[in-house]
């Protein structure tokens, strides 16, 4: 039976419940940034500086948020971003997120560092197409097998993350002793005792570690070997030649995640990829970088028409989606907004998050004088309140 979430009216409502229900180390993992967290905060705050132009006496009938992302029909210009350890926010979290996205009509992206495996998602969504996110790893053989597994699971696009060659320091993860599953320390056990709903869910699933890795890499069969393997696998030598090789190996739609500079946007367009995502990894990598929404207009101009431009980072409402669309993003991705819903109420919570965002998007679009998302441009924004393109 579905939970009545009609009184949940905004993403912040879901965040509050998720913080109460999810163990501290996993909530903090999702809801924090690197170092001073300045960029993490700016991602959200900079959206609020952008003001909208309200129009009146406009026919608001026949409203639609439907559009396309890399040629795929979507119910709104939103996809669920790849997020690591999603299955630690809620038992079987990636499966529940994929099912919610499938029912709603938007893309779901599975992270390499997910708890549920590629095969789990395919099995529990009747092989409905989804996207898979890939890191460039030193173990090229394993990386190639991941691509083969994604193809076999009917993944329709590959999302290649470019901004995690090395890890930005996230103080909370170090202080919390982040691990999956949690180590049975007194501090962790005391915190878990306050999260009975989460614990019951975890007792009912076998998926408690990195499903795409354990059992698929030679010599990695338990947590002790997994931790040392992951610490050494992200490849700092990643370059545009690797992007070209992966594109050829994959052979399908390729999306490049982590572009924050106009020069890199031009290189991304030249690579032949289908889309790029303006993203600072949710403020979890380079602290002191601009927010994604601030960087978006310049990158959209530099990329031109040769590649689709999307963005993620800081989206907490349909208004944020509309502002991103107005500043040149064909599509957007949501990470934390999705995780709050999942951690709060499982699949129902994800569905509620999507409903909230779509309703806000549709209503705000109409107030700005548009009934079709594809007609929206920067004319809906108040001049002087939004970032401009780099000239």
d(CA 149, CA 119): 8
Torsions phi, psi for 237 (to 5 deg): -90, 5
Residue 389 carries which DSSP code? P
The Cα angle at residue 170 between residues 169 and 173, in degrees rounded to 5: 125
d(CA 245, CA 224): 32
In angstroms, the Cα distances linking 90 to 23, 115, 177, 193 are 10, 10, 19, 16
- The residues that are catalytic are 281
In angstroms, the Cα distances linking 368 to 9, 56, 328 are 21, 8, 17
Helix axes 292-303, 318-326, angle to 10 degrees: 30
In angstroms, the Cα distances linking 134 to 166, 175, 258 are 15, 28, 12
Consecutive H or E run containing 298 = helix 292-303
d(CA 166, CA 164): 5
Q: Which residues pair with 332 in a beta bridge?
A: 78, 311
Strand-strand pairing, 67-69 and 72-74: antiparallel
Half-sphere exposure of 294 (CA within 13 A, CB side): 15
d(CA 37, CA 309): 25
Number of H helices and E strands in the chain, helices first, is: 15, 10
């Amino acid at each position: 039976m579905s939970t009545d979430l009609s009184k949940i009216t905004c993403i912040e409502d879901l965040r509050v419940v998720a913080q109460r229900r999810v163990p501290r180390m996993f909530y903090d993992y999702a809801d924090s940034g690197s170092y001073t967290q300045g960029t993490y905060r700016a991602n959200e705050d900079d959206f609020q500086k952008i003001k909208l132009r309200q129009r009146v006496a406009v026919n608001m009938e026949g409203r639609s948020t439907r559009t396309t992302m890399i040629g795929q029909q979507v119910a709104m210009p939103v996809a669920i971003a790849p997020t690591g350890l999603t299955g630690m926010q809620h038992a079987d979290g990636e499966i529940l997120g994929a099912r919610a996205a499938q029912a709603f009509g938007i893309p779901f992206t599975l992270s390499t560092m997910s708890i549920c495996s590629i095969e789990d998602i395919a099995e529990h969504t009747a092989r409905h197409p989804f996207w898979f996110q890939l890191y460039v790893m030193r173990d090229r053989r394993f990386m190639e097998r991941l691509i083969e597994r994604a193809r076999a699971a009917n993944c329709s696009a590959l999302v290649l993350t470019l901004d995690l060659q090395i890890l930005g320091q996230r103080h909370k993860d170090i202080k919390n002793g982040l691990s999956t599953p949690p180590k049975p320390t007194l501090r962790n056990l005391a915190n878990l005792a306050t999260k009975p709903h989460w614990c019951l869910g975890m007792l009912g699933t076998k998926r408690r570690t990195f499903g795409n890795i354990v059992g698929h890499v030679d010599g990695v069969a338990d947590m002790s070997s997994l931790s040392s393997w992951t610490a050494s696998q992200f490849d700092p030598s990643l370059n545009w030649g690797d992007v070209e090789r992966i594109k050829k190996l994959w052979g399908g739609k390729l999306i490049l995640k982590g572009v924050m500079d106009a020069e890199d946007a031009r290189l991304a367009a030249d690579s032949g990829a289908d889309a790029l995502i303006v993203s600072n990894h949710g403020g979890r990598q380079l602290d002191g970088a601009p927010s994604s929404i601030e960087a978006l207009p310049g990158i959209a101009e530099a990329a031109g028409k040769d590649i689709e431009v999307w963005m993620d980072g800081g989206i907490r409402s349909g208004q944020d989606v509309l502002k991103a669309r107005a500043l040149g993003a064909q599509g957007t991705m949501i990470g934390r907004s999705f995780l709050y819903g999942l951690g709060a109420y499982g699949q129902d919570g994800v569905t509620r998050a999507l409903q909230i965002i779509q309703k806000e998007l549709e209503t705000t679009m109409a107030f700005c004088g548009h009934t079709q998302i594809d007609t929206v441009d920067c004319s809906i924004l108040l001049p002087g309140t939004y970032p401009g393109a780099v000239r």
